[in-house]
Chain A
Amino acid sequence: MKITLTVWRQSGPNARGGFETHHVDDVSPDMSFLELFDILNEALIADGKEPIAFDHDCREGICGSCSMMINGRAHGPERGTATCQLHMRKFQDGAHITVEPWRAAAFPIIKDLCVDRTAFDRIIEAGGYISAPTGSAPDGNLILVPKAVSDTAMDAAACIGCGACVAACPNGAAQLFTAAKVQHLNLLPQGQPERWERVVNMVTEMERWFGSCTLHGECEVACPKDISIDFIALMNRDFIKAQFKQRRLTGQHA
């Protein structure tokens, strides 16, 4: 296959960026999209040009590092697939593909296709955990978790934190990520004691960094783990309920 790539290049966070076009011949349909970039980079190095920086690590769709807008779609044309799992057999011979970094104000560009997703960690720091210091746990089977609850929590917990949901959102909102993280814990019995504080703290932190959700649903389509926007509804429900359930407020002076 012959592929033409138009790629965003930007030398640093404050530098002015622009598109650059490269042609790659001898592309195998069995090659992954990142292996296409490996080959292009080897060719660039041979030509004395700096290779294109892009984040990647596990290359099996679980670490959440890879983050390319491919022809305007986060992680490319195939649903439920991270960039590293996308293979060239999904493209036509002679295709012209445009590749950009994630586009979101909360994810500033570091270089070329690498962005800074620290804002996600800030949301977790605000409450995305169950406070269970090491050593304090009772026997695992003392906590019964109905299978359906456990399965649904796992559906949410499958989030790889890649940021495709934010990149795909016209508002640059992080509702799907935050909802997945909140609901993974809020659904489980172990997550109940901190449930209401958790949702308030995480949503508040989210709103410091990201845009507002208007339920476009683009996030669900872009998610490489097929996480459902139902979780956003569940998070919103918990957020509203939390306004009445902040039990610490009961009996306090105004």
Chain B
Amino acid sequence: MTEFNLDAHIPDGPLAEKWDHHKFSVKLVNPSNRRKFRVIVVGSGLAGASAAATLGELGFEVTMITFHDTPRRAHSIAAQGGINAAKNYRNDGDSIYRLFYDTVKGGDFRSREANVHRLAQVSVNIIDQCVAQGVPFAREYGGLLDNRSFGGAQVSRTFYARGQTGQQLLLGAYQALLRQIHLGTVTLYRRTEMLDVVINDGRAVGVVTRDLITGDVVSHAGHAVVLATGGYGNVFYLSTNAKNSNASAIWRAHRRGALMANPCFTQIHPTCIPASDDFQSKLTLMSESLRNDGRIWVPREFGDQRSPDQIPEGERDYFLERRYPAFGNLVPRDVASRAAKREVDAERGVGPLKNGVYLDLSEAINRLGRDVIEERYGNLIQMYERITGEDPYRVPMRIYPAVHYAMGGLWVDYNLQTTVPGLYALGEANFSDHGANRLGASALMQGLADGYFVLPATIGDYLAPLLGTDPLPTNHQAFLDAEAEVSERVGALLGVNGSHSVDYFHRELGKVLWENCGMARSRETLEKALTEIPTLRDEFHKDVRVLGDGESLNQSLEKAGRVEDFLEFGELLCRDALHREESCGGHFRLEHQTEDGEALRDDEHFAYAAAWEYTGDNARPALHKEPLEFESVHLAQRSYK
């Protein structure tokens, strides 16, 4: 175990002034020197694309690596509902402090105050930036920006572009990125997957990638490496993440010395379309924004077989409105998910598999008219109809919670630097802003805050002293060794030639995690998972079947590497969940709940970020703690009643 100084480098001074002070105190690189620095950005979603575009605009030389065929395909594209900003355009009492407070409270007091306040501060700049880029946000008739509400807030601060906000924001960042590519500041490597981070003298000096079409394993050298590679939700196999989303980049960085923080903080989103059968390949999210106008209910009677339109008002239980009158259907995600689970577990679930609850738009359709609902949610309703064959304008939608977002990720300091100097993590890949539960419409905010405003302001502090040094040549032994390891790993996966496909192992891993480390966890289930996962991992290494070769496009081979990493990461996730003897946000330990079934935190013992150190294959990871200090917000049991 290494001695880590988990210093988050939080600036001194009052909360509201920390970011300004910090921007003044960090070192800068002057405009004519910036082109002498090369920064490698991995991942082209909101965080990666915005960071690469902005660094390019500043004059740095940027290498952008994405496994997609074009940067615009990154999974940020699928975000639906909106992006928060403390503009207070609605005159409903919003402020930077309120967005900060809602986010810390929504995260169940497990995030870092200074980071969250900065996030709320720059949220207003993000909207301005995106409008200037031509993001077609929804408008009022007078031409001003429109807003709607999201869970965990009593104000309307969410900006949106129909149900395609993530798509429009990503296209804005992607277009800015392509402008820089055109100007020659950014070099793009497409269909190229990062398979290792290269460390020399304790600093990140580059990455090793594999060209997914030719199989070529090559090195890229830079003065700094930025990982914006998204979250690890697919460790559960079934999630709302895109099929190719994976944890390999952050896991490889972890194996090279970057600490992994709070991996057990996974978000289960309450409104997804329930699974229909074993062939199901992924789960589809129905935006939280539907909870603005949709009412969630189940039949009062156990095992009620009637179709929903036959169930009179008095025999329906609007359980969120009943349990949480103040926030109603707009309670935070973790609270809504657990409430739905409780109803389904009590056998009041609906649908052919009894695995859902109703989300009913009929009251809103009667009140506002079908046109208004169509304008607000048309594409979501169409998506639902395509998947289920049912028409939500006539029949209530069926929804159930599903794995959606990873609050945990690589530990980063206030500058977004990991414990490896020169290695940064942005967006969902880091852990810092959402604590134990993320509020809706805050992921887009964080990705763009990190990429447009935070990293470009902080990376100079690391780069400036490196002025006059060249990136390490890629024929340096550190690169050659890493390339050899990558090639050996690829060869090993192809060489097993066992009897089960990669997907088989991924599904099995997903089942173990969902059953034992899903919406509810206990010492017993977690210990069970911790014996099952290593067994499955051994079986994978002995019995996986990856056909084809490594010299051409081979999607099974790509998946095999990602699942191999998930089989290691999943164990850490369970270990973290086992060690955290409290319930908070998305981490719900059955042993720790209040009398009415709410999450029961233990601030005395667990008000810290758990940062895990990799200590070798099959070795126990070492735990380091970053205490969380709350100077502005009073720690309290969350109440949405």
Contacts and interface: CB of A to CB of B under 8 A. Distances in A.
Interface in B123-162: 125, 127-134, 136-145, 161-162
Interface in A167-186: 184-185
A153 B168 CA distance: 11
A30 B276 contact: yes
A208 to B, nearest CB: 14
B480 interface: no
Interface in A13-52: 28, 30-32, 34-35, 38-39, 42, 45-46, 48-51
Interface string B560-580: 000000000000000000000
A161 interface: yes
A139 B87 CA distance: 10
Contacts of B75: 57-58, 63
A188 B134 contact: yes
Interface stretch (B14-22, B178-186, B197-205, B594-602): B178-186
Interface in A47-91: 48-51, 53, 55-65, 80-81, 85-87, 89
A131 B69 contact: no
Contacts of B383: 60-61, 85
Contacts of A92: none
Interface in B77-103: 77-78, 87, 89
Interface stretch (B248-256, B277-285, B618-626): B277-285
Contacts of B386: 61, 81, 85-87
A157 B162 CA distance: 11
Contacts of B279: 28, 31, 35, 38-39
B164 A190 contact: no
A132 B176 contact: yes
A238 B127 CA distance: 29
Given A32-B281, A38-B503, A147 B69 contact: no
B132 A120 contact: no
A59 B78 CA distance: 10
Contact of A51 (B128, B285, B556): B556
A134 B242 contact: no
Interface residues of B, number: 80
Given A57-B242, A87-B387, A121-B178, A161 B284 contact: no
Interface in A189-211: 190-191
A82 to B, nearest CB: 9
Contacts of B54: 133-134
Nearest to A43: B501
Nearest to A42: B501
Given A118-B190, A161-B70, A145 B132 contact: no
Contacts of B555: 51, 53
Contacts of A154: 136, 161-162, 168
B212 to A, nearest CB: 9
Given A12-B553, A132-B176, A135-B453, 5 more contacts: A57-B242, A120-B70, A134-B453, A150-B139, A153-B134
17 contacts: A53-B553, A62-B77, A63-B77, A63-B78, A81-B386, A124-B175, A126-B182, A132-B132, A135-B125, A140-B128, A140-B137, A141-B89, A145-B139, A150-B139, A154-B136, A184-B136, A190-B131
